[in-house]
């Protein structure tokens, strides 16, 4: 038998052992899943230069192989030389997403700063989604949606859950009185689901909470097209149309609601209030001006009574009395009528009406209680007797008429504003209108 020389034997043994040993595993990579890859767009946006070319190569290799570690290494080396290189930092965030490191990707995107471009916004949206910030992710996708189908699909996919979260956030903020936070949540809903019924209802809720009547009207117009919407919404829209918008539309709404609201006393009163508002809007300018003054004069009071209480112009007047200081006054006809009906008085000694003097609350209450007493069925407690007695009897009658909440709030010697006087007059006339 031929003997193999020792050196050759050792070499053969080493070869055989090497063939039997298990080779160390080579790293296995695969391209990112398609739903992720579609969101990892080129962060260089076609910019020229060696460094941009390096970013593009790293980005292309990442999408082709899924080797996030290699991409991270090359991009970190580039950022070591240029820490402010935004494209490289965005590409690094993309590599971190492929590696499953979403929080780290968010940190890199934050370092890239605002305005880093579509690629950064898409990467941020994906990272937010992965970390559970669904509402923020949906809004980030929606921002890019007009330019990229993948973002549009992602925004639509997340919109229902995101809208639920934003609506809950809105409600909690309103409950705590944090209207700025509520407005921010509402803005998100308006972006994701602008025409959804819930969005419109929350727009209305925010406007009402903020006391923003013009915005409330806008929301109600969208919620009540034609004859749609609840009775409450349509009635509120009618009130706001009369006050701020299109009065003719408001009147049409009120007329359509009159029958439906008749069975509910609170709504029926609001319908009558809206009808009265229409009467004010169609009264002469002198009436509309009087309804806005901070301190009502006696001439203003006469003007309101004359034009807004229909029976004043038809009731038979008593003995004519003359006031020497109204002959040249613009409201002389209204004042003369009110004086001759005995609703407001003239100084019997000086024969003057004092049209420009602020009217006292007790004077106007007397006039309104007297006006109510013309109809015995709806007269206030005490009627004309209370007018003659004045003082506590007058205040008690005013409270019985519903002009003031309680007699203690009479404040007879004080003055009154136009809006408050208008409301007193409306309540008096409303009393007449009820069966």
The number of domains in the chain is 3
Instruction: Indicate if 276 and 382 belong to the same structural domain.
Output: no
Instruction: Indicate if 244 and 272 belong to the same structural domain.
Output: yes
Instruction: Indicate if 307 and 395 belong to the same structural domain.
Output: yes
Instruction: Identify whether 12 is part of a domain.
Output: no
Instruction: Identify whether 429 is part of a domain.
Output: yes
Instruction: Indicate if 275 and 324 belong to the same structural domain.
Output: no
Instruction: Indicate if 374 and 397 belong to the same structural domain.
Output: yes
DSSP, residue by residue, 363-383: HHHHHHHHHHHTSGGGPPTTH
DSSP H stretches of helix in 390-417: 391-401
| Torsion angles phi and psi, residue 358, rounded to 5 | -60, 135
Rg (CA), the chain: 40
CB environment 46-56: b (16+ within 10 A), e (fewer):
eeeeeebebbb
Instruction: Identify whether 162 is part of a domain.
Output: no
Q: Write down the pLDDT at residue 21.
A: 47
C-beta of residue 165 within 8 angstroms of C-beta of residue 134: yes
Residue 272: domain span: 208-282
Query: Among 282, 306, 325, which residue terminates a domain?
Result: 282
Instruction: Indicate if 219 and 297 belong to the same structural domain.
Output: no
Instruction: Identify whether 251 is part of a domain.
Output: yes
Query: Among 282, 301, 328, which residue terminates a domain?
Result: 282
C-beta of residue 314 within 8 angstroms of C-beta of residue 278: no
Give the tokens for residue 364: 């106007």
Instruction: Identify whether 4 is part of a domain.
Output: no
Instruction: Indicate if 217 and 298 belong to the same structural domain.
Output: no
Query: Among 131, 159, 191, which residue terminates a domain?
Result: 131
Instruction: Indicate if 217 and 324 belong to the same structural domain.
Output: no
pLDDT, tens only, 165-206: 999 999 999 999 999 999 999 999 999 999 999 999 999 999
C-beta of residue 238 within 8 angstroms of C-beta of residue 257: yes
Instruction: Identify whether 17 is part of a domain.
Output: no
Instruction: Indicate if 301 and 410 belong to the same structural domain.
Output: yes
Q: Write down the pLDDT at residue 412.
A: 74
Instruction: Identify whether 197 is part of a domain.
Output: no
pLDDT, tens only, 246-273: 988 888 888 888 877 777 777 788 888 8
| Torsion angles phi and psi, residue 150, rounded to 5 | -60, -40
pTM assigned to the model: 0.69
> Cα torsion for 35, 37, 39, 45, to the nearest 10°?
-160
Instruction: Indicate if 348 and 428 belong to the same structural domain.
Output: yes
SS3 category, 297 = strand
Instruction: Identify whether 306 is part of a domain.
Output: yes
Cα angle vertex 202, ends 199, 205, to 5°? 160
C-beta of residue 404 within 8 angstroms of C-beta of residue 379: no
Instruction: Indicate if 234 and 256 belong to the same structural domain.
Output: yes
Q: Write down the pLDDT at residue 262.
A: 73
Q: Write down the pLDDT at residue 314.
A: 83
Q: Which residues of the chain have pLDDT under 50?
A: 1-2, 4, 10-13, 15-17, 19-21, 23, 377, 435
Instruction: Indicate if 300 and 395 belong to the same structural domain.
Output: yes
């Amino acid at each position: 038998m031929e003997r193999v020389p020792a050196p050759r034997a050792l070499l053969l043994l080493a070869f055989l052992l090497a063939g039997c040993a298990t080779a160390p595993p080579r790293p296995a990579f695969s391209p990112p899943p398609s739903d992720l890859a579609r969101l990892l767009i080129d962060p260089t946006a076609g910019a020229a230069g060696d460094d941009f070319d390096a970013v593009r190569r790293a980005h292309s290799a990442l999408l082709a192989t899924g080797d996030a570690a290699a991409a991270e290494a090359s991009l970190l080396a580039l950022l070591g030389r240029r820490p402010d290189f935004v494209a490289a930092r965005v590409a690094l965030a993309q590599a971190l997403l492929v590696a499953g490191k979403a929080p780290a990707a968010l940190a890199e995107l934050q370092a890239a700063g605002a305005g880093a471009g579509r690629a950064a916004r898409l990467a941020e949206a994906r990272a937010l989604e992965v970390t559970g910030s669904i509402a923020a992710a949906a809004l980030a996708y929606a921002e890019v949606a007009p330019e990229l189908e993948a973002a549009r699909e992602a925004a639509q996919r997340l919109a229902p859950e995101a809208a639920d979260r934003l609506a809950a956030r809105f409600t909690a903020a309103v409950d705590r009185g944090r209207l700025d936070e509520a407005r921010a949540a509402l803005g998100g809903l308006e972006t994701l689901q602008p025409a959804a019924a819930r969005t419109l209802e929350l727009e209305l809720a925010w406007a009402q909470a903020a006391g923003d009547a013009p915005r409330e009207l806008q929301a109600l117009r969208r919620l009540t097209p034609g004859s749609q919407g609840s009775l409450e919404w349509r009635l509120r829209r009618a009130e706001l149309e009369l006050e701020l918008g299109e009065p003719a539309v408001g009147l049409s709404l009120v007329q359509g609601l009159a029958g439906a609201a008749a069975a509910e006393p609170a709504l029926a009163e609001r319908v009558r209030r809206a009808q009265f508002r229409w009467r004010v809007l169609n009264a002469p300018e002198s009436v509309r001006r009087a309804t806005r003054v901070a301190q009502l004069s006696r001439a203003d009071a006469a003007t309101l009574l004359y034009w807004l209480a229909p029976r004043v112009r038809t009731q038979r007047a008593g003995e004519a009395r003359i006031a020497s200081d109204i002959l040249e006054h613009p409201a002389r006809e209204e004042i003369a009528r009110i004086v001759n009906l005995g609703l407001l008085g003239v100084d019997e000694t000086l024969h003057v009406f004092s049209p420009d003097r602020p009217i006292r609350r007790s004077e106007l209450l007397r006039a309104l209680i007297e006006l109510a007493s013309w109809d015995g069925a709806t007269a206030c407690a005490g009627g004309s007797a209370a007018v003659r007695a004045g003082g506590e009897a007058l205040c008690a009658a005013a409270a019985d008429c519903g002009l003031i909440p309680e007699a203690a709030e009479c404040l007879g010697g004080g003055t009154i504003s136009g809006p408050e006087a208008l409301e007193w007059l409306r309540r008096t006339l409303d009393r007449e209108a009820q069966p």
